[in-house]
Structure 1
């Protein structure tokens, strides 16, 4: 059972006075310390769906003991490592992280130019200076804890949890000194009996899209689950599942680009009816009063909301979600598909945690050489490698042969 130092008192999670102490510390804006290490690792108290929860500080998971639930595997095994210190600058004192974005959240003039966000599939550039739109979605998922899984959460992760955790993660991130939560709209779970109030809150949140100032027209970010694409007189309309009756316009040229750039994500979504398709987009208000997409990126997730980038990852996660131990799904961020990363990590495996790598059928010698360097650089981690071109997936640790 974890121990925390809260307001000068050592508390365990199962103590009768624990929740009262957390409530008092939240009111007094005190920062708990996780005692998995000495002298303690700073944490913060979040209000998630009217429930107070002690969470790790942004990008501080590696500071915790490997046996601690707040521990995160080494960031350099995924696309996140290259971004910390450049595109992502954590501020330990403030408990936030400042971001540099590769896209704009403001617009001057009336020019349109709907685009498709994310690293291009044929690119070999790893730009660590700024976050692409897709990389920002990956960061939000990572900081929300939505890349982590244990079998105990089966059937318990729904949009309600996704919504609250994304909103909380956005409160710990900033762009140009502004808290990201002020510019990010995540639709709340929809209820027919609360339709009017929900739509009023949405209209209030989006009202800034129709205001301009000396710095130009402000745009916002929207992150939500796609229900469907429907044909429009010109282009497509994107329907967000939690926003029935609300349509976002996508111009025809952008729709064609989207189908090319995110062909794999769309195919995964259409192939498995239990999967979800998540979109992140910059949105703007038009003079006619409509809201339109300016730039968009997609991410496919499993029924448990774990991100997948191809059918091989999907097969791997189908097995991992049944394991009793913790699984952490790795994310690519700005990395091109030609670069390896740890597709998943089993941090609680003994005698050593294990990193799991998938080598795609089209991997070249450069991919293999980089992968070998990654494995050699972390002797503290066991390595599991599935070379897809060699045939069936190798057995996983603890799996019957």
Structure 2
């Protein structure tokens, strides 16, 4: 344990959560959450009655029950956790969210809005281009690191990726013994995508979230992807682009640039060398020549369909994760993430949304009282880094926040509690 963790903490008991089938209540009737999500159309009358009555549903994971937001989109209803109450749900509950340090403070009002229908995002990247603007829009956008936080009136690609990842609960780890797969990620992300809009367009209408491959659904998946691609391209004076969210499997050179193969998807996307070089420099951890063992790389790409039917990447962001799809900003953070998971700890990885926008701890342990911030110090010999480290230590000391520090040249730290 770091000798800078001077404040005594106690380990919180593990809450096994809601055992068995999670239950919710709509208009006075108890219903299986699994059934609601699998066939929501069967419960439209209950959703409607609850929305017209008290205006919300109830989660029965705890006593007293906790409110649930009822959202409607495309004629289908969805349930979401009540804002600010996610950490009050039982640990095993689908609506449980660990208390997050959020990157939303990087934006002005209106960039991200919570509405009755869901989350509305003002996206900085145009997806519908009028003639004359398409060529100009292929020029790489300015580096968002140079834009002061107070002036960010729209959300960039990295901000959108971090937003949906965090809201889906994928930047937190809360139960020992879990083994998170892309199936779990896809399920969690699908709920967020269904109730999110970008620039007043449903995110589900412009985003292809790569589904996990299953032989029995391969044909339906291929047809859905063909429909997505069919919406792209130029018609008249308008060029339509789309978003693809998935995991990189392989990047290999071609005579014209690079071919990027995504896991679970047969159709690749293509990038020119200039774009991929810029992305690799912006997200060095995800494009390192020596990636941590079993780490993963998640990408959110803006794509256009060429005249020959290929998908060309016009912009892209990347996120490094460990094997459990927990985000990390360096190979050292992947090591510590694996250390925390192996120890059965519950923790949060704060996400900045935009690169350089805010200063957060690297992790927060949430299974101890008081909660412990975790800092990974991986740079040595740089005065600016040492000054930044000194300022963070002074801030934590003044605020009375317990901090566990790990200098990456030392053995992995002992954990409190």
TM-score, normalising length from structure 2?
Answer: 0.76
Asked if residue 154 in structure 1 is aligned to residue 175 in structure 2, the reply is no
Asked if residue 231 in structure 1 is aligned to residue 253 in structure 2, the reply is yes
Which stretch of the first structure deviates more once superposed, 144-153 or 288-297? 144-153
Asked if residue 97 in structure 1 is aligned to residue 119 in structure 2, the reply is yes
Q: Which position in structure 2 is the counterpart of 1:14?
A: none
Picking from 254, 257, 264, the partner of 1:242 is 264
Asked if residue 220 in structure 1 is aligned to residue 208 in structure 2, the reply is no
Structure 1's 206 and 90: CA in aligned 2 closer, same or farther, altered over 3 A? same
Q: Which position in structure 1 is the counterpart of 2:364?
A: 345
Summarize deviations over 1:234-292 as a string: whole Å, max 9, x none.
Answer: 11111111112x12111121122223222221117x42341111110111112222221
Q: Does the aligned pair in 2 maintain the 1:117–1:132 contact within 8 Å?
A: no
Which stretch of the first structure deviates more once superposed, 158-167 or 107-116? 107-116
Distance 2:281 2:311 in 1: 24
Secondary structure of 1:80 counterpart: helix
Picking from 34, 37, 41, the partner of 2:67 is 41
Asked if residue 395 in structure 1 is aligned to residue 411 in structure 2, the reply is no
Picking from 255, 258, 264, the partner of 2:285 is 264
Structure 1's 105 and 239: CA in aligned 2 closer, same or farther, altered over 3 A? same
Q: Does the aligned pair in 2 maintain the 1:264–1:310 contact within 8 Å?
A: yes
Distance 2:34 2:187 in 1: 22
Shift of 1:297: 0.7
Shift of 1:301: 1.1
Distance 1:86 1:139 in 2: 15
Q: Which position in structure 2 is the counterpart of 1:386?
A: 405
Distance 2:254 2:409 in 1: 45
Secondary structure of 1:272 counterpart: coil
Asked if residue 302 in structure 1 is aligned to residue 325 in structure 2, the reply is no
Distance 1:66 1:344 in 2: 20
Distance 2:89 2:216 in 1: 44
Picking from 187, 195, 212, the partner of 1:164 is 187
Shift of 1:28: 2.5
Distance 2:78 2:339 in 1: 29
Structure 1's 170 and 390: CA in aligned 2 closer, same or farther, altered over 3 A? same
Summarize deviations over 1:15-54 as a string: whole Å, max 9, x none.
Answer: xx655996775653243134769894334589xxxxx996
Secondary structure of 1:313 counterpart: helix
Distance 2:34 2:297 in 1: 39
Q: Does the aligned pair in 1 maintain the 2:26–2:58 contact within 8 Å?
A: no
Asked if residue 210 in structure 1 is aligned to residue 233 in structure 2, the reply is yes
Q: Which position in structure 2 is the counterpart of 1:49?
A: none
Aligned-residue CA RMSD in angstroms?
3.6
Number of residue pairs matched? 373
TM-score, normalising length from structure 1?
Answer: 0.79
Asked if residue 198 in structure 1 is aligned to residue 218 in structure 2, the reply is no
Which stretch of the first structure deviates more once superposed, 368-377 or 94-103? 368-377
Q: Which position in structure 1 is the counterpart of 2:302?
A: 282
Q: Does the aligned pair in 1 maintain the 2:243–2:303 contact within 8 Å?
A: yes
Asked if residue 354 in structure 1 is aligned to residue 394 in structure 2, the reply is no
Secondary structure of 1:279 counterpart: strand
Q: Which position in structure 2 is the counterpart of 1:6?
A: 25
The one of the two structures with greater contact order (alpha-carbon pairs below 8 A, sep at least 6) is 2
Query: Unpaired runs of 5+ in structure 2?
Result: 1-16, 51-55
Structure 1's 198 and 112: CA in aligned 2 closer, same or farther, altered over 3 A? farther
Query: Unpaired runs of 5+ in structure 1?
Result: 12-16, 47-51
